[in-house]
């Protein structure tokens, strides 16, 4: 048996003279769809596979189809004689164009055997001299195949070897699709060993040390794998220490590492190559000179084993030092390696003399998440489905890791600035908080903890109209609340929504505890409260002397009277101080999610025109109609069924009127206004939305105690899988709604992940009259057929965008990047979803 090992993805050129058995070999070793035969293509273009005059057109078509297959990542085999150098060159060039390895399999069968076979084929009418010429070409070819660019050459030297050959497929070195993580992808370390150990500790790794207490390994108790994006060395204070630790982790199977451009340069220098000693290389060389010989001896082999990129988690994750565009994922060529190590440049230099990088990530549309480093940024920010985790530790920034698949960012600050960069880590701009319309217009795909969210161009246009004409200063707009989906439609007689189904939804999602909180009938408001105008200017770039704002769920100013808004914010600011939250949370600004009561404070025009108008019309018309029908009935006319309908409608209208009036009361400035907060969303350096919901409510109870402005939120914490708890929640809900309450909102008491509904509303039977109409109960069977899935998908998408915005805000991300995510929430609100849901 002769084993022929080839890469899973490559271009195979079969090389052999006519009669050597190439087609038979191809049929036996490869799938029919993988083999492109020159004879078959001659037949396609000329109806005769022996028509040599059609060879040029046949090979043109063959190369075209081969290119399509290689572009799609499929093994391709070319069955032709390929004994001439120009024919093989075309195939090598084709492989290089698609960044796959060219492989030659030579069938070196004796000429006499080939001639005997040819004579047995009636479709072959050429003479022995043709075969002899092919054989001479083959002999010359055997000496040059490697120089021509074939990365593997397999020669089967007689008939026995050809027939005994067994094909074995080998993964490319970058193919780690079988590794599914979870991973912690760590940015450029550049010799900052102390920060690396601190980061690994924060990530939960246990660092192993040798007898000299040097870090030589680190493992995670939960089996997580660290992935280093390269540039372990140069510029920093302890490149040997970083290498010792990372080499130990890789050797133990606790980490993976791709090559950075600094590793590639160091390897060339250690092997005696001529390189320019700059950009921190001299520091590394000096440190290695003082390091222990065993480490120095092992470093070249380690560096030589680093590859350009890894494809992980079934192809869903790609890690490369400088990033990698989609066409290069899982490919192997010098061009791919160069892009992975250095990125792509425009050929220009900036004002600091550094190459201008081509913004490949802005055009990236791939399904795989690409994580990279190379070019330091102040904060790690998502661009499409890519993220750079080099946050300039060696330049005084921070060392950052991305937890995958949760997409959580974890950072530790640099102990000090070790190396002054040529270009400042934070490049001054005319406005640090400046926004650009190009960031939000057109079709866009954004990455969130809940997955990728695509914003349609038409929805973005609608959001831009609202944002540009009606919204508050967009620098304040750091979060918008997601839409809230209703619970599954109730099967309980006489109810459209009911706690039984709501709790069952969360039980099915595996949520262990649910907070049932009363649903305040007011208007949703987001409050940005700063401790001082200086804090507002520092964090939000607002230099007008304002120290906060209050806006609606669509980003519009909540209060049209600036003095009233200022009074509200003053009261909130004082309450936060009285409750001790400024110091406890270590922040000088807070973002709160709340409901402003009463409903009429914001919705008075809507109430007057839509609800009161309907009630007034019904109040004038229905009694008259009922009286007329009663008179007709007294005269012996049978109108009993019609009369009963009008009596029911009159009762329904009375109930309808009673419902909306419950949520209206007079206000005068602050008098009569109440604020019911239910989330502390973010503060300096922290996004709190993933905190247990009981934590939020406990903090907000302290605001209620600190000021009469705040209204308490009553709640009940239950196990959604417990029949006893479900019964208690149902009884409580019936009491709330029976006393005139709107209903309740159910939220996971603990973080249930971004793919579980963040909240479900369960509205009372009477309240739903103002949603679906006074007499909606008569149409209950039809309403139960309402579709909820689109609304639920929208809620998850908007929740994911909000989480991403808050995470970026807490990490100190740019205002433009945060605004992209918030803008997308507003754009999602243009989706055609039933507004009554």
| Number of Cβ within a 10 Å radius of residue 775 | 16
Q: What mean pLDDT do residues 177-201 have?
A: 96
CA dist., res. 245 & res. 394, Å (int): 17
Q: Which residue has the tokens 């995510």?
A: 821
- For the chain, the 3-state helix, strand and coil shares in percent, each to the nearest 5, are 40, 20, 40
Could you tell me the sign of the dihedral formed by the alpha carbons of 230, 236, 241, 245, in that order?
Answer: negative
Could you tell me the sign of the dihedral formed by the alpha carbons of 62, 68, 71, 77, in that order?
Answer: negative
pTM of the shown model: 0.61
From residue 29, give the alpha-carbon distance in Å to each of 6, 13, 22, 259, 822: 12, 13, 10, 35, 55
Note the pLDDT tens digit of each residue in 496-533. Answer: 999 999 999 999 999 999 999 999 888 899 999 999 99
Helix axes of 261-270 and 281-289: crossing angle, nearest 10 degrees: 50
**pLDDT at residue 426 greater than cutoff 70:** no
pLDDT, residue 92, reads 95
* Residues 6+ positions from 790 with CB-CB distance below 8 Å: 831, 833
Most distant pair of Cα atoms in the chain: their distance: 120
pLDDT, residue 431, reads 41
Phi-psi map region of 107: left, alpha, beta (phi>0 left; psi -120 to 50 alpha)? beta
For 597, the token pair is: 């009561």
Note the pLDDT tens digit of each residue in 17-58. Answer: 888 889 999 999 999 999 999 999 999 999 988 888 888 999
**pLDDT at residue 605 greater than cutoff 80:** no
Q: Is 381 helix (H, G, I), strand (E, B) or coil?
A: coil
pLDDT, residue 278, reads 82
Could you write out the DSSP letters of every residue in 527-595? EEEESSHHHHHHHH---SS--EEEE-TTS-BS-S-HHHHHHHHHHHHHHHHHTTHHHHHT-SEEEEEEE
Higher pLDDT, residue 306 or 623: 306
Q: For the chain, what is the mean pLDDT?
A: 88
pLDDT, residue 346, reads 58
**pLDDT at residue 482 greater than cutoff 80:** yes
For 738, the token pair is: 């029976």
**pLDDT at residue 606 greater than cutoff 80:** no
Note the pLDDT tens digit of each residue in 57-74. Answer: 999 999 999 999 999 999
pLDDT, residue 608, reads 66
Helix axes of 128-142 and 111-119: crossing angle, nearest 10 degrees: 140
Note the pLDDT tens digit of each residue in 776-828. Answer: 888 888 988 888 999 999 999 999 999 999 988 887 777 778 888 999 999 99
pLDDT, residue 660, reads 64
* Residues 6+ positions from 805 with CB-CB distance below 8 Å: 478, 479, 818, 821, 822, 825
**Measured in whole angstroms, how far is the alpha carbon of residue 7 from the centre of its chain?**
31
| Torsions phi, psi for 259 (to 5 deg) | -80, 140
**pLDDT at residue 106 greater than cutoff 70:** yes
pLDDT, residue 430, reads 37
pLDDT, residue 91, reads 95
Q: pLDDT confidence of 622, banded at 50, 70, 90?
A: confident
Contact of 362 with 423, CB cutoff 8 Å: no
**pLDDT at residue 589 greater than cutoff 90:** yes
Q: What mean pLDDT do residues 197-219 have?
A: 95
CA dist., res. 106 & res. 102, Å (int): 13
Q: pLDDT confidence of 295, banded at 50, 70, 90?
A: very high
- 155, with CB counted inside 10 A (0-12, 13-18, 19+), is middle
Contact of 328 with 340, CB cutoff 8 Å: yes
Q: What mean pLDDT do residues 125-133 have?
A: 80
Note the pLDDT tens digit of each residue in 249-281. Answer: 999 999 999 999 999 999 999 998 888 888 789
From residue 757, give the alpha-carbon distance in Å to each of 184, 482, 507, 834: 27, 10, 12, 18
Higher pLDDT, residue 283 or 450: 283
CA dist., res. 659 & res. 663, Å (int): 7
Mean pLDDT: which of 219-223, 423-427, 543-547 is highest? Answer: 219-223
């Amino acid at each position: 048996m002769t084993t022929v090992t080839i890469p899973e993805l490559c271009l195979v050129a079969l090389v052999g003279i006519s009669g050597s058995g190439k087609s038979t070999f191809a049929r036996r070793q490869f799938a029919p769809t993988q083999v492109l035969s020159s004879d078959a293509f001659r037949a396609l273009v000329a109806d005769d596979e022996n028509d040599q005059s059609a060879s040029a057109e046949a090979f043109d078509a063959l190369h075209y189809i081969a290119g399509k297959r290689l572009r799609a990542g499929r093994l391709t085999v070319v069955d032709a004689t390929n004994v001439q150098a120009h024919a093989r060159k075309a195939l090598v060039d084709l492989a290089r164009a698609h960044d796959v390895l060219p492989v030659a399999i030579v069938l070196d069968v004796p000429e006499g055997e080939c001639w005997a076979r040819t004579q047995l084929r009636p479709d072959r009418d050429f003479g022995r001299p043709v075969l002899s010429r092919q054989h001479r070409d083959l002999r010359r070819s055997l000496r040059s195949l490697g120089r021509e660019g074939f990365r593997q050459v397999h020669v089967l030297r007689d008939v026995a070897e050809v027939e005994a050959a067994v094909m074995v497929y080998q993964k490319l070195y970058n193919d780690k699709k079988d590794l599914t993580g979870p991973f912690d992808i760590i940015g450029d370390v550049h010799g900052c060993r102390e920060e690396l150990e601190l980061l690994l500790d924060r990530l939960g790794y246990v660092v192993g040390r040798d007898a000299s207490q040097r870090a030589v390994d680190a493992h995670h108790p939960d089996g997580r794998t660290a992935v280093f994006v390269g540039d372990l060395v140069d510029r920093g204070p302890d490149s040997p220490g970083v290498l010792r630790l990372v080499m130990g982790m890789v050797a133990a199977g606790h980490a993976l590492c791709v090559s950075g451009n600094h590793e590639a340069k160091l390897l060339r220098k250690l092997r005696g190559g001529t390189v320019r000693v700059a950009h921190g290389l001299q520091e590394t060389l000096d440190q290695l000179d003082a390091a222990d010989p065993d480490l120095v001896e092992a470093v070249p082999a380690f560096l030589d084993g680093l590859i350009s990129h890894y494809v992980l988690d079934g192809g869903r994750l790609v890690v490369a030092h400088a990033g990698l565009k989609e066409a290069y994922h899982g490919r192997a060529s010098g061009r791919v390696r160069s892009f992975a190590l250095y990125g792509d440049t425009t050929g220009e230099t900036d004002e600091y003399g550094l190459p201008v990088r081509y913004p490949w990530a802005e055009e990236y549309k791939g399904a795989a998440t690409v994580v990279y480093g190379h070019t330091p940024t102040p904060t790690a920010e998502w661009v499409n489905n890519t993220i750079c985790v080099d946050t300039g530790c060696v330049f005084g920034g921070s060392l950052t890791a991305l937890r995958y698949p949760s997409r959580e960012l974890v950072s530790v600050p640099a102990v000090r600035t070790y190396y002054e960069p040529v270009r400042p880590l934070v490049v001054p701009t005319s406005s640090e908080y400046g926004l650009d319309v190009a960031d939000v217009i057109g079709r866009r795909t954004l990455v969130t903890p809940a997955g990728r969210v695509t914003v349609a161009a038409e929805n973005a246009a609608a959001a831009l109209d609202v944002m540009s004409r009606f919204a508050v200063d967009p620098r304040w707009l750091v979060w918008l609340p997601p839409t809230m989906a209703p619970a599954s439609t109730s099967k309980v007689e006489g109810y459209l929504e009911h706690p039984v189904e709501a709790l069952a939804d969360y039980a099915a999602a595996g949520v262990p505890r649910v907070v049932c909180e009363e649903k305040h009938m007011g208007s949703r408001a987001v409050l940005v409260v700063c401790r001082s105008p200086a804090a507002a200017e520092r964090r939000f770039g607002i230099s007008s002397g304002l120290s906060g704002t209050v806006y609606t769920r669509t980003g519009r100013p909540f209060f049209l009277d600036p003095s009233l808004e200022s009074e509200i914010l003053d009261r909130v600011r004082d309450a936060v101080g009285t409750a001790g939250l400024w110091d406890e949370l270590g922040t000088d600004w807070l973002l709160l999610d709340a409901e402003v009561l009463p409903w009429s404070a914001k919705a008075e025009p809507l109430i007057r025109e839509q609800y009161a108008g309907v009630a007034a019309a019904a109040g004038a018309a229905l009694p008259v109609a009922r009286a007329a029908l009663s008179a007709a009935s007294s005269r012996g006319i049978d109108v009993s069924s019609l009369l009963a309908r009008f009596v029911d409608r009159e009762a329904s209208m009375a109930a309808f009127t009673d419902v909306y009036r419950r949520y209206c009361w007079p206000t005068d400035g602050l008098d009569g206004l109440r604020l019911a907060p239910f989330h502390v969303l973010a503060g300096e350096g922290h996004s709190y939305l993933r905190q247990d919901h009981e934590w939020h409510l406990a903090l907000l109870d302290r605001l209620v105690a600190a000021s009469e402005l705040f209204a308490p939120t009553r709640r009940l914490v239950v196990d959604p899988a417990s029949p006893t708890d479900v019964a208690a929640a149902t009884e409580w809900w019936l009491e709330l709604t029976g006393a005139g309450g709107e209903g309740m909102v159910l939220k996971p008491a603990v973080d249930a992940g971004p793919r579980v509904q963040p909240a479900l509303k369960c509205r009372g039977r009477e309240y739903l009259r103002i949603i679906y109409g006074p007499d909606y109960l008569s149409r209950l069977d039809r309403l139960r057929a309402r579709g909820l899935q689109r609304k639920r998908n929208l809620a998850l998408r908007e929740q994911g965008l909000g989480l991403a915005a808050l995470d970026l805000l807490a990490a100190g991300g740019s205002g433009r990047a945060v605004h992209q995510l918030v803008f997308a929430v507003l754009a999602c609100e243009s989706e055609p979803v039933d507004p009554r849901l």
